[in-house]
Amino acid sequence: MECHNTYPTWKGVAYIYNVWNKDIEWKAVKRSITDCVKHMACNRHDGAWWQPGDNQRFVAEGHDVFSDVDVPHIIEADLARQNEASRVSEEKKREAEEAKSVYVNFEVENGFASVGETYYVVGSSPVLGDWNLAHGVEMKCVEYPKWVAEGIRFYDVWDQTIQWKAVRANSRHDAQAHYQPGFDNQITITDRSLTSTCDLGPILLKEIDHLREQVSNMEKFGTPQRCVVCKHNPRESITTNTSGVE
């Protein structure tokens, strides 16, 4: 095609034989003059730009037939189709992920704390920091001393059991943070919306009873006796809370 003082309109004439009343399809192709000389022909694999969308069509019903294409309009329509296809694809992806997602509410009852302290959920899932307080989930105090972390999303964990503990700390990097004593809390994912609750009241009372028993043994035998609950500290970098309710 040629452009003589009509840029950006390009025109070309093609002589086609034996095509009377036949459908002819065509596309506009853009490439550099150097490439055309080098390859002598355009093909779909040499880096040339091909008009997007459907082929242009005309029927050879006379000796002189005119067929044109508005490239900007075609490009705009093609971009719109691409954007719509991308939107639909992303929507389907989100729907697929949502189908495998579950939401868990974590609650801590009797979570007494000093001024400046808050509670965190840490546990055996990456969502809960893999037992690393720095990446745990911060809880909110909704009605003291009750703390909650609502709508925590887990992906693709159906029928899995997640262990977790409540941690009382001044910050995510508190070296003196207090882990919930005793055994880990557990929740098995069997529904898309679940709640797991830990009541620290009975746990701390049990801890106090063990401390009293330990003190009694020390007075009786003169040597420290390890407390069953106190010695259970699965996170060595965190100090277990043995101070009771504050």
pLDDT at 168 > cutoff 60: yes
pLDDT digits (tens, 9 = 90+) for 54-64: 888 888 777 77
pLDDT of residue 46: 61
Q: Which pLDDT belongs to residue 34?
A: 62
**Short-list 107, 127, 105, CA closest to 119:** 107
Whole-number pLDDT of residue 67: 76
* Euclidean distance between CA atoms 137 and 130, whole angstroms: 11
Q: pLDDT at position 158, please? A: 92
* pLDDT computed for residue 40 by the predictor: 45
Residue 141 tokens, joined: 């105090």
CA–CA gap between residue 228 and residue 234 (Å, rounded): 13
* Fold of domain 101-240: Immunoglobulin-like (2.60.40)
Cα first-last separation, the chain: 86
What is the domain partition of the chain in residue ranges?
1-67, 69-97, 101-240
Predicted pLDDT at 231: 38
Beta strand 161-169 pairing with 118-123: antiparallel
Tokens coding 121: 């959920």
Report DSSP letters for 101-140, one per residue: EEEEEEEEES----TT-EEEEEESSGGGTTT-GGGSEEPE
Amino acid at 37: V
Which residues 6+ apart lie within 8 Å of 231 measured at CB? Answer: none
Tokens of 107: 């609650």
pLDDT in tens, 171-224: 999 999 999 988 999 999 999 999 999 999 888 777 676 667 777 777 676 655
pLDDT band, residue 228 (cuts 50/70/90): very low
pTM (2 d.p.): 0.55
Tell me how crowded residue 167 is: count the other CB atoms within 10 A of its CB. Answer: 25
**Residue 237 pLDDT > 60:** no
What was the pLDDT predicted at 165? Answer: 96
What is the per-residue pLDDT across 13-36, written as a single tens digit (0 to 9) for each? 887 777 778 888 888 888 776 654
| Per-residue model confidence (pLDDT) at position 60 | 77
